[in-house]
Every structure is written in C-alpha cells, then in structure tokens.
Structure 1
Amino acid sequence: MCNKLILADLEACFEGVIPSIISTADADGLPNISYLSHVAMVDDRHVALSNQFFAKTAANIRLNPHAMLLLVDARNSAQFRLQLVFAHTLEAGPLFKHISLQIDASSAQVGMAGIMKLRNLDVFRVVSIEAIPSQVETAEPLGLKRNRLIAAAKIADAIAAEADADGIIDAMLEGLRTEFGFEHGLLLQLDEGRNQLITIGSIGYAPSGIGSDIPVDEGVIGGAAAGGRLVKLSDMSRIRRFGAAVRDSSADENRTRAIPLPGMPDAMSQIAVPLIAAGTIRGVLFLESRDRIAFTGEDEAALSVIARQAAMALALSEKLSLETEPEQLVRAELPTSEKTVHVVHHRFDDSVFVDGDYVIKGVAGRLLASMLEQYQESGRVEFTNRQIRLDAALKLPDFKDNLETRLLLLRRRLEEKRLPIRLSRLGRGRIGLLIEGALRLSKDVV
C-alpha cells in the first residue's frame, strides 16, 4: 500500500465522527458522490460500507465495481483517499450485526428507532491508501498513552480478590476510574422478568441513580443487552443524547415511582459493554465522556475482558451466597430514636415508601416489605439468602433471581436516601436489618 499506510493506521477514521465520502461511476463513466454514515474496517485489506438509502451508489457499484473513498481522521482532520474494488455483500453475520446495532443505537438517539435499518453491507477490497497533503500541518493529538493490557490485568486481579457483589462492583468501577481515567459510568443488571436493566453500581453521578432502570432494546445500553455486543458512539454532538437528565429532586420519584437514569447532558462519547457469563447476558457496563472518540479500539478490547471477568465473578458470588457462614445471635437493637418510622407497601407494584419517600419497587420492594413485616411480628433482624429463597410468599424468580445483587441494590438505595432503615452485610449470605425508630408498617389493599 502507498506510503506504507495500513488500515489500522486509520482507526479514528472509522469512528463515524466525520462522514466519509464515496465516489462511484456508472457504466458510461458518469460520476456520483454520496456521504456515508458508517464505514467499518473488516480486516487489514477490506472495508465495509453501510448500504441504507444510497440506491444510485449501489446501482453504480453493480455496473462498475471501482470506487474512491475519502476518510477523515476526527482527531486531527488528516484526510486519506482509498481506492476500492467491490468484493461482496453481507446481509448477516457478526460484522453485519455489530454495524446494525450501532445504527439502531444512533437512530434511537434522534427518535427514529426502527426506521434507519441496515439493509446490507457492501464489502470492498482496498487497492491503495493515499494520504492527502494538507496546507496545514496535522499532528497526533497529545494525550497520555496508557497500557490497557496492564490496566485490565490490575482490574481483573482486584475483581478476583473479592467474594461478594459489593466488592466486585466497587473494584471494577473504581479500577476503571483510577486505571483508565473514566470518571462516569454505570453497571446495570438484567432483570429478565421485567425485561429491563437495573442500575446496581455507579460512579461520577449525583444522585447515583442506583435503582434506575431502562428497557432492554432501548438506546445504547439496551442495544448492548439485546444484541449481546458492544455498542459505541463517538460524537454525541451529531445526535440527540439518550437518557434522562440528572435530577436532584425526589419529587418526581415519589409521584412516578421511577428513579431517573443519571447521565451527562454534555456527553460526547458513550460505550455500552455487555456482561456475559456462560453464554448468558447478565448486565451492561456503561461509560460516557465529554471527549470525542474517548473510547479506542484498545479500550473496547480491554473493557470486554473486564466486563466478562466481572460477570463471572458476580455469578460465582451469587452461588457462594447460598453457603451461609455460621450464624451468630443478633439481638434486635432498641430504637435509637422515639420517632415513628412510617412505611407503606403498595402491593400492586411492590413499591415501598419510608416516611413519604419512595424507596424501591418490584422484587427488591417485596424483599424489604417482607423483612420489615417479620421484624414487626417477631423482632427478627437477621436474614439469610437461603431462607429468603425458600420463602414461597416472596414469589422470587427461578434460580437466576440474582438475589445477592438485589439485596445490594436495596442496601445501597437505603443508604443513599439516608433513611432510618438500613441493611448491613453480616457475612456471606447473611444480612442485618436496623431501624432507627418505632416501625409502623401498613399495606394497601390490592
């Protein structure tokens, strides 16, 4: 290839930040120029172009297989001209699915979900790559070079050292902050029963958004869960940002029984990486940044390794939580306050309110209501995962109920709300209940 350039040198050109331009000609040599939203590198000698709306370009290629492609490096505006020859069309397969997910996520950002569907990918062989001289000097952007392999290994070691969900989640998110420099992120768990993803870990947001949820198949996060593949957007200025704005007030929570999904209103880059263990999607790691092209190809590979390590560790911690540590007598502490703690459990959606503040709903709400009811009836303050799973009245899902992380979600939600009801981890598979006041529990009538 000319000037010893290879496709790997043009990595930033394939981020979709600056549209690429393709030039084709019909059988008579009449040229046609079109802009392309997605160009992907297939291997070291092939690229794939998304074929959505460009009927003329597609028709020309079938008559004349030669084309010229102009790519622009979004980091420094360097331009490259590629001479192409049409090879074949893809209508299925891993690459097609990956690009299709990217387009679906981008479409959802602008309210066009389901409209901009990928029809096929045209794959071209790259004959030559030519750097186009610029009148101004272009330079590589200055930035700290990080060894992603070493960083990923450190985070994997930190995750492997933890035995419970709390430690695993904190080790992963804190490692991404310290080792990778990513300041904003969420870890969401898949709730198959509700077909939603629920936030169980958070860094960089206030409020944290613990307990917020998003439907599978919706936006960048839902797309990664639905497709089981990484989804990345590198320039959010081209599309409307998905997700609820950060809200400090809890008034909407009380009215809607919905916790806002946190996010950066000025985010430029987003990436969602599925957590997969034993071939099953268990959640999504979501990160965002104010920088364009914040997540490189090396980041994608490293984050995929970290996400899979976390998924396996969380699955193992769930099984270990059944092996309850030896029980110790835990006495019910007398209320530290004479104040009455008013709790209302709405059984139609299992939502729980404490002193008028919305806490949680669904399975987690049902768990909290059950523990409070047992406390009120018998003074019980210690519970085990095994006993909870055997309680038929709780109507827990099957063996994939993720009880350990549901309890973690509930514990962190209570802490963030600073309510007079707390949960504490007493050991493996054991949880303690603390109420700072005299409990008054009421249930509405279904």
Structure 2
Amino acid sequence: MTLGLLNLEACFEGVVPSIIATADGNGVPNISYLSHVAMVDGDHVALSNQFFAKTSANIRLNPQAALVAVDARNGAQFRLDLAFAYSLDDGPLFEQLSRHLDATSAQVGMAGIMRLRGLDVFRVLRIESIRSTIEPERNPSPARDRLVAAARVIEMIAAESDAAGIVDATLGGIRSWLGFEHGLFLELYEERRQLVTIGSLGYAPSGIGSDVELGQCVIGAAAESGSIVKVSDMSRVRRLNAAVRDSSSDENRTRSIVLPGMPDAMSQIAVPLIVAGVVRGALFFESRARLAFTKADEAALSIIARQAALALAFSERNSEEAEVGHRAVQLSPATDRTIHVAHHRFDDSIFIDGNYVIKGVAGRLLAFMLDQHLTSGRNEFTNREIRLDSGLRLPDFKDNLETRLLLLRRRLEEKRLPIRLIRLGRGRIGFEVEGRVRLSREGA
C-alpha cells in the first residue's frame, strides 16, 4: 500500500514528539525534537520553529530535511523526506496551532510565554515505513459512522423547543451516538466575558453554574477564537482539576461553583457554538483515552454544535411571546416552615437557608420573583415582563434570559431547595415555595 499523509493522522496529534534532521551548508548534521507538526494538505506538513534556531538556520542554507513521525496509537514509525516550501506567520493554520499552544501553555502556568513565532511548511517528497522488530498493534476503525451519528443528534435537537430540551438532547445525543461520556454545555455571557455551564454530562457534582473566562483553558480558547481547540495527550501538560476542586469546594464560602473535570483525563476538545458568525458558547468533552477525538469527531461535533446554537437562538427569540393556554402553577401544600433567603446586593448572590445558589443576573431574577411573590402573592411571570423591568438590568444585547432561567432552575433542583422554578410553557415561568419566605437584602 502506498503511504500518504492521510494515513498518518495520529502522527500529527502532538502526543509523541517528532524528530527532524537537517544539515548546514557544509553537510554537518543537526537533530532536534519537534513538539508541533501539522498536516497542511495531502502533500505538505508544517513544523513549528519557535525555539530551534539551528534547525531554522540549516533549512535556509540547505532546504532539505528528514522527519521521523510516530503513530501515537500503536508506535509505528515513519520517515518523511521533506523539501522546504515557504514560511507562515499568520493565516488559518498558524492561528489553529497558535491557539493549541496557548491553551496547553496556560495549563502549565506559562500563558503568554510559549508563543508560536512561525511555521515552516515543507513539501513531502517520500514517506517510508520504518521496519520494527515489534509488530505495531492495529487498532480497528471506530464502529460509529460519524456523519450518521451527527444526523441522529441533530434530529434529537430539532425535536426540542425549549432551552432545557435542546441542551439535554445535545449532550444525551452525543453520548448515545458518539459515545462520549463526560462533557459540558456552556453559554457565553458577554457582560461577564465568561462561559457558564448550563448542561453537564457524566459529572457528580454536575458543575451547573460553574464558569470559565474567555481565553482560559481549551474551553475559553475555543470560544474566544471561534475555532475547535483539542489536546490529545494531557500527560504532557499539568492537570489542575483535582487541585482546583480541593481548594474551592466550599461554595457557601467562595460563592464560586467548581468547573467539573476528570483528574485523569488524557484528551480534551472544545467546540464553539456559533450563530451567524457570533459565538454563543461552547461544547466541551474529555476522555481518559489518548487520541480520543479524531478528525471525524471534530467534524461531527462542529455540525452538532452549530445546530444546537441555532436551536437555542430560535428558542430565545420564540420565548419573547408567551404561549397561550399555559398550565397554572399548583399551589404548594401549606406548611409553617420558614425559608430564609438572603440577597447580597454587591454581587446579587442568593443564599437559601444558608446554601449558596447563584449570583449575577440569575440571582437578581430570583430576588425579583420572590419580592413580587411576597408583596402581591404572584408565582407566575412572563419573559416579556421580565425583560421590560429596568430594575433587573438585563444586558441590552443578547440577554440570554431563557438559559439564565434554565441555569437558575437547575441549581435549585440540584441543591434540593424548598423553592423551585417551573417552566409553564413558551415564554412563561413559575415557581413553587414549600413554606413561608423571609427575604433579607444585604449590602449596598
């Protein structure tokens, strides 16, 4: 079988460093390790040159090189004879590798230091399999057809009309049809420059309400750039999840919800949610296996993410008008229980019976509804009236009201608190209270 670059996909995932051999004008050889080699097309590869001054100098004097690449799945080795073609310091490929380097550098505490300075692109003249005394393990191809899987997940998303159904269909469909067991669905809140978790798969606790800064880790990098960011071998970067979870587990003290994660994850991928060229959030998945996410997975997840983002945007717009003939909230059984709710104005955080719930816009929403309930006995509201209330200070552009209400609802459910939000129909929300609310407002 004639070997082509497409047969060497697993060699370019950054798991096993490649080796490059060059020679200067007098034929004196130099050998270096390369951490980043990327396939440009069927005939070209790109090599990062940010640290290897001698290799770069040799290439300018003698534009020939030999590269040894290793298949990270089975250890098979290949020799590539190369001829220098041109250099890159911008463009889509440069930006893709730069984002990957930035994301992995941030995880080892070197954000902004290990920056990609340039790429040297080479034409591949010949590919030769290096014989080994050990027969490489042959991994079978994935059993799932990724195009069919993407179509099935999209069908599940299209069957839903509200934010909760869309988020659950996306994560549940990906688990069923792509086989990924651990993931997050995050919405971008632009006024905070944060991505907030509104859906969770495979984690306990779920991490609903946890946030990621734009540009932080693979999730923030994908949202900031609008492109997929993937790491195929986390053993090469320091994993921070366990340390973060240990130091920040007390929500009542920190008013911060820990982003869930697998302490032994080996692969991670983040895919932006984009509508009309605007990033609305991100999907994130991780796995204990190296090289868990293939190019076919990237394509399938990208298709699914765009459909999910479009469905959420349509749901948000559709919720502006309340559904006619909605069901009413059932009155809660009478009880003498007193429910203590504290609203801290400086960050709009809400505590119920001493348990931290949420902060920010979602906290203001709950305080508003409880205040209306106490003053006039109301327990039903419409999205329209909420948006028209200037005291809530909703963002002027893209207020994400539906997903903020979903976030609040899921936090109340997860904490098993005596106050629950209920979706009554399109554009309508209600809540049940098991007791008598005593609302206190603290701070200026």
User: TM above 0.5, one fold?
Assistant: yes
Change (3 A) 1:50 1:242: farther
SS in 2 for 1:28: coil
Distance 2:293 2:434 in 1: 45
Choose the corresponding residue for 1:429, options 416, 419, 427. 427
Which amino acid counterpart does residue 314 of structure 1 have in structure 2?
L
Q: Which shifted more, 414-423 or 242-251? A: 242-251
Aligned partner of 2:70 in structure 1 is: 72
Maintained 8 Å contact 2:275/2:310: yes
**C-alpha separation between the residues in 1 aligned to 2:330 and 2:155?**
38
Equivalents in 2 of 1:110, 1:249: separation in Å? 18
Show the 5 A alignment for 1:325-344. Answer: 325-326=323-324, 328=326, 330=328, 333-344=331-342
Following the alignment from structure 2 to structure 1, what is the Cα–Cα distance between the partners of residues 288 and 48?
Answer: 27
Shift of 1:213: 0.4
Partner AA of 2:146 in structure 1: R
> Is the Cα contact below 8 Å between 2:412 and 2:420 reproduced in 1?
yes
Matched, 1:365 2:355: no
| 1:298 partnered with 2:296 | yes
Q: 1:331 to 1:319 in 2, by over 3 A?
A: closer
CA distance in 1 between partners of 2:224 and 2:235 (Å): 25
Instruction: Output the CA distance in 1 between the equivalents of 2:249 and 2:309.
Output: 34
Counterparts of 1:101 and 1:90, CA distance in 2 = 15
Distance in 1, matches of 2:108 and 2:304, equals 30
Aligned residues: 444
- Aligned counterpart, 2:84: 86
Counterparts of 1:241 and 1:107, CA distance in 2: 11
Q: CA deviation at 1:246?
A: 7.9
Question: How far, CA to CA, are the matches of 1:266 and 1:336 in structure 2?
Answer: 48
- 1:124 corresponds to which of 118, 122, 125: 122
The SS at the match of 1:89 is strand
Do the aligned partners of 1:245 and 1:263 also contact (CA within 8 Å) in 2? no
Contact 1:245 / 1:264 at 8 angstroms: preserved in 2?
Answer: no
2:191 to 186, 190, 193: 193
Structure 1 unaligned spans of 5+? none
Deviation at 1:323, TM superposition (A): 2.0
Mapped partners of 2:303, 2:383: distance in 1: 29
Give the alignment of 1:169-180 within 5 angstroms.
Answer: 169-180=167-178
Q: What is the CA-CA distance between 1:336 and the residue it aligns to?
A: 3.8
Other structure's SS at 1:92 match: coil
Partner SS, residue 423 of structure 1: strand
The 2-side partners of 1:246 and 1:441 are apart by: 33
Partners of 1:420 and 1:435 within 8 A in 2: yes
In structure 2, give the amino acid aligned to 1:53: F
Q: 2:248, 2:254 within 8 Å by CA — same for their partners in 1?
A: no
What letter corresponds to residue 408 of structure 1 in structure 2? L
> Are 2:326 and 2:425, in contact at CA under 8 Å, matched by a contact in 1?
no
Shift of residue 337, structure 1, vs aligned partner: 2.6
1:109: which partner in 2? 107
Contact (CA 8 Å) 1:207, 1:248: kept in 2 or not? no
**How many angstroms apart in 1 are the aligned matches of 2:365 and 2:53?**
56
Shift of 1:297: 0.6
Aligned partner (choices 321, 333, 349) of residue 347 of structure 2: 349
Question: What SS does structure 2 have at the residue aligned with 1:187?
Answer: strand
- Hey, what's the Cα distance between the residues in 2 that align with 1:264 and 1:356? 29
Report the alpha carbon displacement of residue 136 of structure 1 after superposing the two structures with TM: 1.0
Aligned partner of 1:18: which letter? V
Give 2:160's aligned residue. 162
1:438 paired residue among 430, 436, 440: 436
The C-alpha deviation readout for 1:356-386, integer Å capped at 9, x for no partner, is 0000000000101100100011110001111
Q: Secondary structure at the match of 2:250?
A: helix
Query: SS state of the match for residue 252, structure 2?
Result: helix
Cα root mean square deviation, aligned: 1.5
Matching residue of 1:24: 22
CA shift in 2, pair 1:250/1:18, >3 Å:
closer
Identity of aligned residues (%): 68
Q: Please list the CA deviations of residues 284-339 of structure 1 after superposition, one character each: whole Å capped at 9, or x if unmatched.
A: 10000000000001000110010011011100000000121115584672554321
Instruction: Quickly say closer, same or farther: Cα 1:407–1:297, change in 2 above 3 A.
Output: same
1:44 to 42, 57, 69: 42
CA contact (8 A) 1:91 1:121 kept: yes
Query: 1:108, 1:242 within 8 Å by CA — same for their partners in 2?
Result: no
| More off after superposition, 131-140 vs 17-26 | 131-140
TM-score, with structure 1 as normaliser: 0.97
CA distance in 2 between counterparts of 1:414 and 1:246 reads: 24
In structure 1, what is the equivalent of residue 222 of structure 2? 224
CA distance in structure 1 between the partners assigned to 2:246 and 2:413 by the alignment:
16
SS, match of residue 43 in structure 1: coil
Q: Which residue of 2 aligns with 1:279?
A: 277
Q: Distance in 1 between matches of 2:186 and 2:108?
A: 23
> How many Å separate the matches in 2 of 1:122 and 1:273?
27
| 1:245 shift after superposition | 5.5
2:306 partner letter: R
